[in-house]
Copies of this chain bind each other. A is one copy, B any other.
Amino acid sequence: MTVTIYDVAREANVSMATVSRVVNGNQNVKPATRQKVLAVIERLDYRPNAVARGLASKKTKTVGVIIPDISNVFYAELVRGIEDIATMYRYNIILTNSDQQPMKEAQLLSTLLSKQVDGVVLMSDQLSEELREEMKRSSIPIVLAGTLDQTSDTPSVNIEYHEAAVEAVERLIRNGHTRIAYVTGSLKSSINRLHKLTGYEKALDAANIEIDSDLVVEVNNTYEEGIRAFEQLQSLKQPPTAYFAGNDEIAIGILQGAKDADLDVPGDIEIISFEDSKLTRMVRPQLTSIAMPLYDIGAVSMRLLTKFMNNEKVEDNSVILPYRLEERQSVKQ
């Protein structure tokens, strides 16, 4: 039925080993025999069985990717970066969505390991105990993309969230604001809590602005929750005049919430986002945003993973990519 390496060997009057050699580009084959074998492969339309190859070589040329949700632009761009580099190095990716559920994350990793992936790229707001447990058992390399883990030196690719947050809030302060809200994703995430929130506070502190906990609102990373947060904050006795948003969807929620309340952006309200997906350019006014290089974080993570999979020397486990503040129209010049 299906053509195997054995069939090719027989038809070409060589051994399986020789066929294997030409298929794998081994140089120890006389050009003449190589041609002969190639001809038979062509004639029989032979295709190596990657599963058999994986079993014999203990390498599957596939890597696992665990992300919260592919339908979120943020992760989608990241995955594209991963996939492009994976392709470049002849890997395929098994994509899984965790919805940030600790149980599910651990289970997904377990499944990926049983499928013998050569490595894993992982994204998660917070590494749960279950997940860490599972990671420890794994003998293959794992790279964290846009994910921080204080408790270990798991390789990771990130930006300097803290500095970026400081810069964003300082920008708002520079425009004279003293009531600056921070609408953030889950504070269980160490990035949000230990890096961005502290950056927000540091900038306020440095400007002698009192920190008001009412101005920090924790929401899910969605457009709808951005609107909700805006409405909640505007109902304060002293509502904020500027917003620092945890991501683009939240920022757009705030923006449209303001518009729907007949407030002008950036006239009455100024907004800085933190992500800079293409969504920032698709709304009016276009959003000023901290630009996270999503595609690059994915790409670099995958590149880093290939190094580990090849047992190459890696100078630094934790790579930091540059960010920048992308000035657009939701903040006055």
Which residues from chain A sit less than 8 Å from chain B, CB to CB? 45, 47-52, 54-55, 60, 62, 69-73, 76-77, 79-80, 83-84, 87, 92-97, 110-116, 137, 223, 249, 252, 256, 259-260, 278-279, 281-284, 295
Contact = CB atoms under 8 A, between A and B. Distances in A.
A84 to B, nearest CB: 8
Copies in the complex: 2
A230 to B, nearest CB: 14
6 contacts: A50-B116, A71-B76, A71-B79, A71-B80, A92-B96, A93-B95
> Chain A's interface: helix, strand, loop or mixed, by majority?
helix
Contacts of A84: 97
Contacts of A87: 96-97
Contacts of A52: 55
Contact of A115 (B55, B79, B92): B92
Q: Which of A110, A279, A282 has the most B CB atoms < 10 Å from its CB?
A: A282
A50 to B, nearest CB: 4
B92 A111 contact: yes
A97 B95 CA distance: 12
Contacts of A112: 92
A114 B283 contact: no
Given A70-B70, A70-B76, A83-B95, 17 more contacts: A49-B114, A51-B115, A51-B116, A79-B95, A83-B96, A87-B96, A92-B111, A92-B115, A93-B94, A94-B94, A94-B95, A95-B95, A223-B282, A256-B284, A279-B279, A279-B282, A283-B284
Nearest to A298: B71
B111 A83 contact: no
Given A137-B45, A282-B256, A80 B51 contact: no
A190 to B, nearest CB: 26
A142 B79 CA distance: 24
A256 B284 CA distance: 7
A113 B295 CA distance: 28
Shortest beta-carbon contacts, A-B, top 8: A71-B80, A95-B95, A76-B76, A50-B115, A51-B54, A51-B116, A71-B77, A50-B114
A281 B97 CA distance: 24
B97 A94 contact: no
Q: Which of A71, A110, A283 has the most B CB atoms < 10 Å from its CB?
A: A71
